Chains A and B, each alone.
Chain A
């Protein structure tokens, strides 16, 4: 399994991470080294096993339908990089 530059570019776009050209080759070989290890997962003993999503065999606990939160906009928005009139500001959203 070997990642091409185009694949790396596509993955970087999905992750919204820009890759500086000078980092690309080193990164590609790092990723390939990790993905090479993934060939261990071709082990046929895994075929019949049930995928395990959680370490504990528990089920979801439900919350009562109650409003427990009050308006904390001021505090919660204090760390926002850009806000105005109670809104978070971002570069123009084009639909």
Chain B
């Protein structure tokens, strides 16, 4: 079985695209598959499938991994196009950076490269990570692999869609208000947003610095555990990164969850929750019970206050973070600026899309003289309130389980006329970012043919527990193994 030219069942395309990272590593280590072949398989799939999805903004030529023993040696992956990788175009989904080639590496990219992972492309996203539907990309919307009329979610919509369509074993994402968990839920893949500070933000283009957190989207909790272990850790270049050890997330995956106390927020199961989504999530919680977990009803009020606070704080930080896009040192510059004022105004008006401009204006207003106390400061106090609610809840439970979103993926264009309504999609994910807690989205069935996600929320730095619970759940169900028809079609070619 040492020949690479003859594919066995284990090395055929359909096996490869559904294989876990440990399985792929075994094939690579055994020499049954070369890194080039593996990269080639996925590159070919990107070529044939992605035109129908638009999940990628740029393709990157695979570079052979330096070390073959590293944890991810030879495993192909995609970066959300918010991560700087030296020499690659890094657009953040914006016209502003449409032609910008990063001259430096993000820490996440450096670490994944050191771990031997092979970059195949940069995924589509809502411009500057602002959005919940991937409709705000300068590079066009992304189709949900399960239903092309549906959005894939956002802002890491390209990453979620690409992993769902099996265009790569995993993809990076970032989550500021739900941007990993919500698209993972909509696309039926597994995503983890770690604790704020767990993964370095250096080289990850900032949206809202005190919320942004990098993470992983993959097929399973096990794969997420392996990749997160390589991405996470203290970085002296990011003052907000946490200076504490990274546990071996894979070591505890197999632990039993008997006796685990799972908190169920009673406020999240109301009429605002789509009944079919609610049914799927309840069924998932039943499965956790069946695995030995105990459930307790917990109180997690004030999601509306959390939302109001987030939609002031995040835009406020964004309005400042995005001031550097001024047409002077990099990126887009308007044609023939008459003077400085004209340079700034036209560059920014032409370079940014509507949603980005909207949030910059909200944030600017929230910070402007006379409003700071009423908006920004009050919102920071609300952040304290929401965090305290979680602290109290975690006195009664070890993890919190509930829906990721109130509905399954909505149709493209459904909310584009009403941004405030679109923001409601984030009502279960945003409180987690306010508190900086780790959260996961785990595939938990379907509602109207579109995937539903189970959200798991843990204490600060309790990623290992979340991954353990998700993995135990995935031992009992096969939602995460289901593949959208668009992915299967190509593999049968």
A41-B378, A55-B196 known; A79 vs B420 contact (CB < 8 Å) = no
Q: What residues on B are CB-neighbors of A70 within 8 Å? A: none
* Surface stretch bound by A, among B75-83, B169-177, B237-245: B237-245
A15-B360, A27-B361 known; A40 vs B339 contact (CB < 8 Å) = no
**Could you tell me the distance between the alpha carbons of A22 and B99 in the complex, rounded to whole angstroms?**
29
Q: Is B197 among interface residues, defined by CB-CB distance under 8 A?
A: yes
Q: Give which listed residue, A11, A16, A93, contacts B368 with CB less than 8 A.
A: A11
Q: What residues on A are CB-neighbors of B333 within 8 Å? A: 81-82
**Could you tell me the distance between the alpha carbons of A38 and B307 in the complex, rounded to whole angstroms?**
9
Nearest-Cβ distance from residue A37 to partner chain B, whole angstroms:
4
Q: Could you tell me if B103 and A17 are in contact, using CB atoms closer than 8 angstroms?
A: no
Q: What residues on A are CB-neighbors of B381 within 8 Å? A: 41, 46-47, 49-52
* Surface stretch bound by A, among B32-40, B340-348, B441-449: B340-348
A41-B379, A43-B305, A72-B103 known; A50 vs B330 contact (CB < 8 Å) = no
Q: Give which listed residue, B195, B243, B349, B380, contacts A17 with CB less than 8 A.
A: B349
Q: What residues on B are CB-neighbors of A11 within 8 Å? A: 361, 364-365, 368
**Could you tell me the distance between the alpha carbons of A17 and B271 in the complex, rounded to whole angstroms?**
40
Q: Is A76 among interface residues, defined by CB-CB distance under 8 A?
A: yes
A52-B380, A63-B236 known; A17 vs B348 contact (CB < 8 Å) = yes
Return the chain A residue nearest B334 by Cβ.
A81
Nearest-Cβ distance from residue A22 to partner chain B, whole angstroms:
12
**Could you tell me the distance between the alpha carbons of A19 and B352 in the complex, rounded to whole angstroms?**
12
Q: What residues on A are CB-neighbors of B354 within 8 Å? A: 23
Fill in one digit per residue for B306-333: 1 if any A CB lies within 8 Å of its CB, else 0: 0111011000000100000011111111
**Could you tell me the distance between the alpha carbons of A34 and B379 in the complex, rounded to whole angstroms?**
13
A17-B352, A90-B328 known; A54 vs B308 contact (CB < 8 Å) = no
Q: What residues on A are CB-neighbors of B481 within 8 Å? A: none
Q: Could you tell me if A91 and B342 are in contact, using CB atoms closer than 8 angstroms?
A: yes
Q: Is A18 among interface residues, defined by CB-CB distance under 8 A?
A: yes
Chain A interface residue count: which class?
35 or more
Q: Is B382 among interface residues, defined by CB-CB distance under 8 A?
A: yes
Nearest-Cβ distance from residue A12 to partner chain B, whole angstroms:
6
Q: Could you tell me if A18 and B358 are in contact, using CB atoms closer than 8 angstroms?
A: no
Q: Could you tell me if B308 and A40 are in contact, using CB atoms closer than 8 angstroms?
A: yes
Q: What residues on B are CB-neighbors of A63 within 8 Å? A: 236
Q: Give which listed residue, B311, B345, B380, B437, contacts A53 with CB less than 8 A.
A: B380
**Could you tell me the distance between the alpha carbons of A33 and B346 in the complex, rounded to whole angstroms?**
26
Q: Is B436 among interface residues, defined by CB-CB distance under 8 A?
A: yes
Q: Give which listed residue, A17, A50, A91, contacts B343 with CB less than 8 A.
A: A91
Q: What residues on A are CB-neighbors of B309 within 8 Å? A: 41
**Could you tell me the distance between the alpha carbons of A58 and B405 in the complex, rounded to whole angstroms?**
31
**Could you tell me the distance between the alpha carbons of A26 and B435 in the complex, rounded to whole angstroms?**
33
In the complex, how many residue pairs between chain A and chain B have their CB atoms under 8 Å apart? 173
In chain A, positions 17-45 with a C-beta closer than 8 Å to chain B are: 17-20, 23, 27, 30-31, 33-35, 37-43, 45
Nearest-Cβ distance from residue B410 to partner chain A, whole angstroms:
18
Q: Could you tell me if B420 and A17 are in contact, using CB atoms closer than 8 angstroms?
A: no
Q: What residues on A are CB-neighbors of B210 within 8 Å? A: 53-55
Nearest-Cβ distance from residue A73 to partner chain B, whole angstroms:
11
Q: What residues on A are CB-neighbors of B364 within 8 Å? A: 11, 14-15
Q: Could you tell me if B339 and A79 are in contact, using CB atoms closer than 8 angstroms?
A: no
**Could you tell me the distance between the alpha carbons of A20 and B374 in the complex, rounded to whole angstroms?**
29
Q: What residues on B are CB-neighbors of A46 within 8 Å? A: 378, 381-382, 384-385
Q: Give which listed residue, B305, B368, B380, B420, contacts A14 with CB less than 8 A.
A: B368
Q: What residues on B are CB-neighbors of A76 within 8 Å? A: 103
A55-B435, A90-B328 known; A27 vs B340 contact (CB < 8 Å) = no
A49-B385, A90-B340 known; A31 vs B365 contact (CB < 8 Å) = yes
Q: Could you tell me if A15 and B420 are in contact, using CB atoms closer than 8 angstroms?
A: no
Q: Could you tell me if A27 and B358 are in contact, using CB atoms closer than 8 angstroms?
A: yes
Q: What residues on A are CB-neighbors of B338 within 8 Å? A: 91
Q: What residues on B are CB-neighbors of A85 within 8 Å? A: none
A16-B345, A81-B331, A88-B329 known; A31 vs B361 contact (CB < 8 Å) = yes
Q: Could you tell me if A52 and B308 are in contact, using CB atoms closer than 8 angstroms?
A: no
**Could you tell me the distance between the alpha carbons of A7 and B312 in the complex, rounded to whole angstroms?**
17
Q: Is B182 among interface residues, defined by CB-CB distance under 8 A?
A: no
Q: Could you tell me if A61 and B236 are in contact, using CB atoms closer than 8 angstroms?
A: yes
Given A11-B364, A51-B381, A55-B434; 14 other pairs, CB 8 A cutoff: A10-B368, A16-B341, A17-B345, A18-B348, A31-B358, A37-B304, A37-B308, A38-B308, A41-B379, A51-B377, A52-B383, A79-B330, A81-B328, A91-B340
Closest 6 CB pairs of A and B: A55-B436, A51-B380, A81-B333, A16-B344, A41-B378, A33-B420
Can you show 15 pairs from A to B with CB atoms below 8 A apart?
A17-B345, A27-B361, A30-B419, A31-B361, A34-B362, A35-B365, A37-B311, A38-B378, A41-B309, A43-B382, A49-B381, A51-B383, A58-B240, A78-B103, A79-B330
Instruction: Name A residues whose Cβ lies closer than 8 Å to a Cβ of B.
Output: 3, 7-8, 10-12, 14-20, 23, 27, 30-31, 33-35, 37-43, 45-47, 49-56, 58, 60-61, 63, 72, 75-76, 78-82, 88, 90-93
Instruction: Name B residues whose Cβ lies closer than 8 Å to a Cβ of A.
Output: 100-101, 103, 195-197, 210-211, 236, 239-240, 242-243, 304-305, 307-309, 311-312, 319, 326-333, 337-346, 348-349, 352, 354, 357-358, 360-362, 364-365, 368, 374-375, 377-385, 387, 418-420, 423, 434-437, 460
